[in-house]
Amino acid sequence: MGQFLRREDLLPWLQGLAETRLLVAPRAVEGMVLFQPISHGAEIALDYTNSSLSPKEVVFPATDVLFTVGRKDGQTELVPATIERETVLFGIRPCDARGLKITDLPYLSSPTDAFYAQRRQKLILVGMACTQPSPTCFCTTFGLGPQDASDMDILLLPTEDGYIVDAVTDKGKGLLQGATLSETERGPQPVTHPEPLPIEHLVEAMRRTFQAMYWSRLADRCIHCHICAYVCPTCYCFDIRDYDNKGRIERIRTWESCQSAGFTRLAGGFDPRAEKGLRLRQRFAHKLLYFPQEFGPVACVGCGRCVVHCPVNIDIREVMADVQRLAQVPAIPEEA
């Protein structure tokens, strides 16, 4: 026996959450769907395939004041940023929830990033299962699915007249105390799953093609707009700068891309990735080679946003197929 939330009871429940917590949910904004703070339930977009941008900004803001430094009573005063309220992130898809879990690996490993950890600890994920995956989705390649609840606190599975409620964690169960729920025996609606791509030899193929001319040729198309990094739920490169704000110094962290010219420039001006091909290779090598070597999973969740938004049609699905073909990785024999 499961729990059921009627469609007409969803927005009142969310409105109640918004009164005591920061509610971030998808909104329709000038033809896009973006995760933004919500003050009234009627602002929430419910009919969409996936958001235009990933919701990673909730824990990894595009521009983030880490701390301020100033003078007070003749002493130097450092004031770190603090997060006081819980945030409920509503409407996150399974791929983006997995993106947060992947980003946890570098940011919550020792030494822990305190600013990221604060936001993550005060975050509750209320996911919405996919009903119609986009043609550019390939989440099943990485062991996910449109109805995967494994990285959520709560997952809502849409039906014709409401939502089957899967409370995954204790935080999620606590959040449902104010919801009007009933018992149900019905199961989730069937959903077409994207066909998984073959990636059995991907990491080894990336290693074997590291010096290939393929990357320079691919980079000839790239205009280094960085949109792939900004829409991606697992890209987390950043830059840090200090700014004067009315006599106080603010240390600000901002999103950056490893494809930026000068991202790896060293003191004295030497840049080990001065060429476009090396910088483009870095993006894919980090996701498909370095990250799995360091942490285990590939740093891609198959959301397809980079495929949709790339102005020169560089498709990570094609890149994964190309490197495995170029590497000609032989089949790995099964152990007896």
Indicate if 134 and 239 belong to the same structural domain: no
Q: What domain range is 245 assigned to? A: 202-263+273-327
Query: Which tokens belong to 117?
Result: 């950890």
* Mean pLDDT of the 263-282 span: 89
- Alpha helical stretches, state H, the chain: 7-20, 94-108, 114-121, 170-175, 202-208, 214-219, 227-231, 276-285, 291-295, 305-309, 316-327
Total count of domains within the chain: 2
| Strands laid side by side in the 154-158 sheet | 32-38, 22-29, 87-92, 123-128, 154-158, 162-167, 2-6, 181-184
Indicate if 212 and 148 belong to the same structural domain: no
pLDDT of residue 55: 97
73 within a domain of the structure (yes/no)? yes
Q: Are 199 and 298 in contact, with CB atoms under 8 Å apart?
A: yes
**Which of 30, 92, 88, 22 has the alpha carbon at shortest distance from 56?**
92
319 within a domain of the structure (yes/no)? yes
Lowest mean pLDDT among 18-27, 110-119, 189-198: 189-198
Indicate if 179 and 73 belong to the same structural domain: yes
Angle between helices 316-327 and 276-285 (to 10 degrees): 90
Pairwise pLDDT comparison (335 vs 213), residue with the higher score: 213
pLDDT of residue 335: 42
Residue 73, φ and ψ in degrees, nearest 5:
55, 40
The CA angle 169-174-175, to the nearest 5 degrees, is 100
Examine the pLDDT at 246 and tell me if it is beyond 90. Answer: no
Indicate if 206 and 121 belong to the same structural domain: no
Indicate if 128 and 154 belong to the same structural domain: yes
* Mean pLDDT of the 236-245 span: 94
* Mean pLDDT of the 18-31 span: 94
pLDDT of residue 336: 36
3-state DSSP call for residue 3?
Answer: strand
Please state, in angstroms and rounded to a whole number, the distance separating the CA atoms of residues 148 and 127.
9
Indicate if 83 and 137 belong to the same structural domain: yes
Q: What is the pLDDT of residues 61-106, one digit of tens each?
A: 999 999 999 988 888 999 998 888 999 999 999 999 999 999 999 9
335 within a domain of the structure (yes/no)? no
Examine the pLDDT at 290 and tell me if it is beyond 90. Answer: yes
Indicate if 102 and 242 belong to the same structural domain: no
pTM over 0.85? The answer is yes
Indicate if 250 and 176 belong to the same structural domain: no
193 within a domain of the structure (yes/no)? no
Q: How confident is the model at residue 330 (pLDDT cuts 50, 70, 90)?
A: low
279 within a domain of the structure (yes/no)? yes
Please state, in angstroms and rounded to a whole number, the distance separating the CA atoms of residues 4 and 162.
7
192 within a domain of the structure (yes/no)? no
Examine the pLDDT at 273 and tell me if it is beyond 90. Answer: no
Indicate if 140 and 207 belong to the same structural domain: no
268 within a domain of the structure (yes/no)? no
Q: Are 304 and 182 in contact, with CB atoms under 8 Å apart?
A: no
